[in-house]
């Protein structure tokens, strides 16, 4: 009996040791994906000091993929060619929905705020001084919209500015061009467009780095607060690697992380650091995304009534399941 007990204890010890060793087997190489709200080169430059500190802190060899095409970063995260990523909330929702990745941190601004605003901007000398001026002059003004992957550049104004006012951009503006935050800003500053989407993160940075250019634009509409962008990692990373990655980001910019460079964070969208977060922060974005899909379905002239009803049922079922999962993340 004693011999049997001893054998069992030895086996349990071996199993525990194996499990621990496997859990602690952090990858030596990792790829971080970054969305570029300006240019890939500019984003790489702003993030590089943080990436270098991350490599030292985690003792990993780090490769970065930076792209203005948000879906490229999403695809890398899904295919496991990217393991950690900064994504817009809208694209993060797609990453979380397939259950391969999860939110572990959220950006925090210098003032401690956990969100930002989508805005509509015009040239400072423009006769357009309010959103009501646009509504009163349908078909008169040109518009630079954001990419459909952008939360603040497209999704939020599509709902809060246009849908809430029961108007579609295609019927409101003379012409529509799809750009990104940098292109939209420059087009307004140069007086090449009447109205464009942007966000307060980009405007705050412009105000600090180029006050003269900032003075050439005017904000005519601002949205409710949008949750700051999340950081995600793949769920199949070893637990030890997840803990090390999370620990680096949530302590970066704070005194207990000697590798911190607060001045570097300031140059990345005016950040003070990062805080712990979960998939639950994406719930408002899920609601907006569902609205956008339902709205597109409603106005799709190519679909029959039966097809629209089927699409409505599929969309509501999909987002009902997703919303439940996001709410569960809140209480974990």
- Interval 108-118: pLDDT, tens: 988 888 788 99
For every residue of 126-146, DSSP letters joined together read -S--SHHHHHTSTTTSEEEEE
Residues 323 and 251: their CA atoms lie apart, in Å, by 30
pLDDT tens digits along 68-113: 999 999 999 999 999 999 999 999 999 999 999 999 999 998 888 8
At the topology level, CATH places domain 7-111+228-280 in D-Maltodextrin-Binding Protein; domain 2 (3.40.190)
Q: In a 3-state reduction of DSSP, which class is residue 302?
A: coil
> Dihedrals φ, ψ of 18, to 5°?
-65, -45
Rounded distance, CA 41 to CA 9, Å?
57
Burial label for 32, CB within 10 Å (0-12, 13-18, 19+), is buried
In 3D space, the residue among 156, 147, 166 whose CA is nearest the CA of residue 119 turns out to be 156
pLDDT at 14 over 80: no
Residue identified by tokens 């039966």 is 306
Q: Taking the model in full, what pTM does it have?
A: 0.75
If we measure between CA atoms, which residue out of 233, 267, 272 comes closest to residue 48? Answer: 267
Is 132 within 8 Å of 122 (Cβ atoms)?
A: no
> How many CB atoms neighbour CB 246 within 10 A?
17
Place of tokens 């400072």: 124
Q: Which numeric CATH code is attached to 115-226?
A: 3.40.190.10
| Cα angle, residue 87 at apex, residues 249 and 274 outer, rounded to 5° | 25
Burial call 103-121: b when 16+ CB within 10 Å, e when fewer: bbbbbbbeeeeebbbbbbb
**Cβ atoms < 10 Å from Cβ of 256:** 7
Residues 139/173, Cβ–Cβ less than 8 Å: yes
133-169 pLDDT, tens digit each:
999 999 999 999 998 888 899 989 999 999 889 898 9
Q: H-helix or E-strand containing 62?
A: strand 61-67
What pLDDT is attached to residue 39? 92
Residue 235: exposure state from Cβ atoms within 10 A (0-12, 13-18, ≥19): exposed
Q: What is the pLDDT of residue 258?
A: 66
Whole-number pLDDT of residue 299: 78
3-state secondary structure of 155: helix
Position 306 scores a pLDDT of: 95
- Mean pLDDT is highest, among 79-88, 249-258, 278-287, 297-306, for 79-88
Among the listed residues 199, 215, 259, 219, the one whose alpha carbon sits nearest the alpha carbon of residue 59: 259
Q: Where are the alpha helices (DSSP H) in the chain?
A: 2-23, 40-58, 70-79, 89-97, 131-135, 156, 169-172, 181-189, 200-209, 211-214, 239-251, 262-267, 283-298, 305-331
Mean pLDDT, to the nearest integer, of 265-287? Answer: 91
Over residues 242-275, the pLDDT tens digits come to 999 999 999 998 876 666 677 889 888 889 999 9
Cβ atoms of 280 and 230 within 8 Å: the answer is no
**Residue with tokens 């030890």, as numbered in its chain:** 240
């Amino acid at each position: 009996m004693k011999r049997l007990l001893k054998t069992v204890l030895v086996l349990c010890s071996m199993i525990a040791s194996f499990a621990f060793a496997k859990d602690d087997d952090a990858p030596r190489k990792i790829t971080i994906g970054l969305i570029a709200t300006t240019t890939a080169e500019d984003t790489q430059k702003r993030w590089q000091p943080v990436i270098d500190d991350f490599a030292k802190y985690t003792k990993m060899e780090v490769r970065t993929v930076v792209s203005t095409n948000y879906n490229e970063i999403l695809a890398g995260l899904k295919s496991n060619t990217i393991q950690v990523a900064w994504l817009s909330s809208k694209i993060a929702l797609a990453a979380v929905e397939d259950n391969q990745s999860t939110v572990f941190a959220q950006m925090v601004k210098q003032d401690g705020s956990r969100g930002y605003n989508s805005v509509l901007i015009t040239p400072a000398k423009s006769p357009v001084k309010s959103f009501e001026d646009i509504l009163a002059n349908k078909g008169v003004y040109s518009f630079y919209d954001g990419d459909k992957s952008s939360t603040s550049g497209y999704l939020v104004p599509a709902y809060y500015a246009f849908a809430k006012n029961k108007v579609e951009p295609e019927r409101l503006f003379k012409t529509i061009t799809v750009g990104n935050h940098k292109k939209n800003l420059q087009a307004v500053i140069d007086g090449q467009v009447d109205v464009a989407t942007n966000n307060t993160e980009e405007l705050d940075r412009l105000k600090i780095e180029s006050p003269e250019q900032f003075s050439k634009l005017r904000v005519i509409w601002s949205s409710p607060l949008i949750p700051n962008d999340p950081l995600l990692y793949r769920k199949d990373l070893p637990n030890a690697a997840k803990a090390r990655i999370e620990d680096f980001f949530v302590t970066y910019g704070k005194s207990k992380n000697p590798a911190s460079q607060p001045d570097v964070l300031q140059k990345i969208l005016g950040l003070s650091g990062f805080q712990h977060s979960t998939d639950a922060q994406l719930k408002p974005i899920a609601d907006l995304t569902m609205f956008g899909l339902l709205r597109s379905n409603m106005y799709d002239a190519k679909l029959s009534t039966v097809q629209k009803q089927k699409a409505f049922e599929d969309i509501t079922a999909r987002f009902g399941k997703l919303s439940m999962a996001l709410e569960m993340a809140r209480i974990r």
